Amino acid sequence: MRHTASIPLVFAAVLIGCQSSTHVTKTATIDPTSASSPTTRHEAETVNDYIARVQGAKTPIDEAEALRQLRKYETDHGLTYTVRTFRAIDNTEVPGGSLASQPVRAQVTIFRGREALQTFNFVPKDNRNLAVLGE
């Protein structure tokens, strides 16, 4: 009789233990923005405005101006960046994308020190506009 009464208690303890570990698993996810400083988060949000202008440019001239504004913002705020270009057809990396004769996709990563603030992609309206970013 004693064994029968203890079985439900053991079963209940196991269930409570499982629920606790499930809860821990769900809350263990780390929000990457919470690890960065408020200044870094604000800077990333502001950089997004410039990125949106680059990605939303309607003409090659608008795109060139948006890239100049982005570059000026980066310089004024001590940000650095990397640019990689890939052929749009097959995603093969192309060095010197501004000189490419076929459509390319540019991948730009913006940094504050070693911390990546933002990475974005766009297909230039005119590959020569990539020269603004030194590509």
79 neighbors 118 (Cβ within 8 angstroms): no
Q: How far is CA 116 from CA 4, 20, 29, 44, in A?
A: 60, 35, 20, 9
Q: How far is CA 65 from CA 42, 69, 70, 72, 133, in A?
A: 23, 6, 9, 10, 12
β-strand pairing of 104-112 with 115-122: antiparallel
Give 18-48 pLDDT, tens digit per residue.
433 333 322 233 234 444 555 555 555 689 9
Q: Percent of the chain having pLDDT more than 70? A: 67
Which residues partner with 111 through β-bridges? 80, 116
Q: Residue 130: pLDDT above 80?
A: yes
**pLDDT number for residue 97:** 93
Domain ranges of the chain: 36-133
Question: 36-133 has which fold?
Answer: Pantoate--beta-alanine Ligase; Chain: A,domain 2 (3.30.1300)
Closest CA to 107 of 86, 128, 134: 86
Amino acid at 127: N
